[in-house]
């Protein structure tokens, strides 16, 4: 029993250490090129090409509880899941409105909702992750691309907009956006994500081709480094090793119960 307890503690401690290590920041461009982004330099490395059934690719989102990456297609007006190692996209379903250009995509762990933002009407949508169906919540009055990020540390939904180059808080009941401040440098903000390991919000801009962090208090963006020439639209952070840690801790607990 003592040896099993020791083993269980060692595995749990090891996994806790592993979980604290940096995960992977993944980006996608409109032509389905899939990249890994170095969060210390901004440099991107091509890791694959998303399967052609996804059409024109845009926003990315990550559900940490299920270890699922989601992808929005602005060409097919549909939601997909994305297997990053193989770059295979699997259709979840159509949004249900061919006018939708769902550029923004974000999983909200606090409410268990997938949010989407369409540039065709500046609308915030709730997206059914089982069917892909999108339901309009409300419109913001802004034009062009709006991208979404959920900060679980404050349970806040934020947005950037490429026509105003600014940072906003999002009202999840009405879809209204409240200005926090100008980004102060980026001129076409796109993919945005929350880093679960260091608590920072990151964003890519495909005019300046730069990776930034954003201060949610005032909206100011700070350059990390160049991503290189391209058209990055989606950005997501995947902590490591989320699902493996949960599985191993569960197996250890099971072994301890059986031996006891």
The string of pLDDT tens digits covering residues 40-49 is 999 999 999 9
Tell whether 189 and 254 lie within a shared domain: no
Q: Where does residue 254 fall: left (phi above 0), alpha (psi -120 to 50 degrees), or beta otherwise? A: alpha
Question: Do 122 and 135 touch, CB atoms closer than 8 A?
Answer: no
CATH of the domain at 226: 2.120.10.30
The band of 247, judged by pLDDT with boundaries at 50, 70 and 90, is very low
Across 199-219, average pLDDT: 97
Strand ranges, E, within 20-75: 24-29, 33-37, 44-49, 57-63, 68-73
Instruction: Using CB atoms within 10 Å of the CB of residue 145, give its burial: 0 to 12 exposed, 13 to 18 middle, 19+ buried.
Output: buried
Whether 247 and 227 map to the same domain: the answer is: no
Same domain, 39 and 80: yes
Comparing 13-17, 56-60, 80-84, 203-207, which segment has the lowest mean pLDDT? Answer: 13-17
**Residue 6 sits in the same domain as residue 128:** no
Same domain for 44 and 8, yes or no, is: no
Do 204 and 254 lie in one domain? The reply is no
The mean predicted confidence, pLDDT, of the chain is: 88
93 with 112, same domain: the answer is yes
Do 79 and 140 belong to one domain? yes
| R_g of the chain computed on alpha carbons | 19
Helix or strand or coil: residue 231?
A: coil
Count of domains forming the chain: 2
Residues 38 and 112 in one domain: yes
- Give the residue numbers spanning the domain of 205: 23-239
**200 plus 255 within the same structural domain:** no
Residues 189 and 207 in one domain: yes
171's enclosing H/E stretch is none
Residue 8 in this model has a pLDDT that exceeds 60: no
Note the pTM of the prediction, 2 decimals: 0.85
Q: Do the beta carbons of residue 87 and residue 103 sit within 8 Å?
A: no
């Amino acid at each position: 029993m003592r040896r099993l307890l020791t083993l269980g503690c060692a595995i749990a401690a090891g996994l806790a250490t592993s979980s604290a290590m940096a995960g992977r920041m993944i980006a996608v461009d409109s032509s389905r090129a899939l990249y890994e982004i170095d969060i210390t330099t901004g440099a991107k490395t091509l890791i694959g090409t998303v399967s052609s059934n996804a059409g024109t690719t845009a926003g990315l989102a990550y559900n940490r509880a299920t270890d699922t990456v989601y992808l929005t297609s602005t060409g097919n007006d549909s939601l997909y899941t994305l297997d990053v190692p193989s770059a295979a996209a699997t259709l979840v379903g159509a949004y249900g409105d061919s006018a939708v250009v769902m550029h923004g995509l974000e999983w909200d762990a606090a409410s268990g909702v997938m949010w989407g933002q369409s540039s065709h009407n500046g609308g915030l949508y709730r997206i059914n992750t089982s069917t892909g169906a999108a339901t309009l919540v409300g419109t913001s009055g802004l034009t062009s691309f709006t991208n979404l990020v959920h900060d679980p540390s404050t349970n806040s939904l934020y947005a950037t907009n490429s026509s105003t180059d600014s940072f906003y808080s999002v009202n999840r009941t009405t879809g209204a956006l409240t200005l926090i401040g100008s980004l102060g440098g980026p001129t076409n903000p796109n993919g945005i994500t929350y880093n679960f390991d260091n608590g920072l919000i990151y964003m890519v801009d495909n005019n300046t081709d730069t990776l930034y962090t954003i201060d949610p208090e005032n909206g100011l963006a700070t350059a990390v480094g160049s991503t290189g020439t391209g058209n990055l639209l989606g950005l997501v952070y995947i902590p490591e090793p989320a699902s493996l840690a949960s599985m191993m801790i569960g197996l250890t607990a099971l072994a301890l119960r059986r031996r006891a």
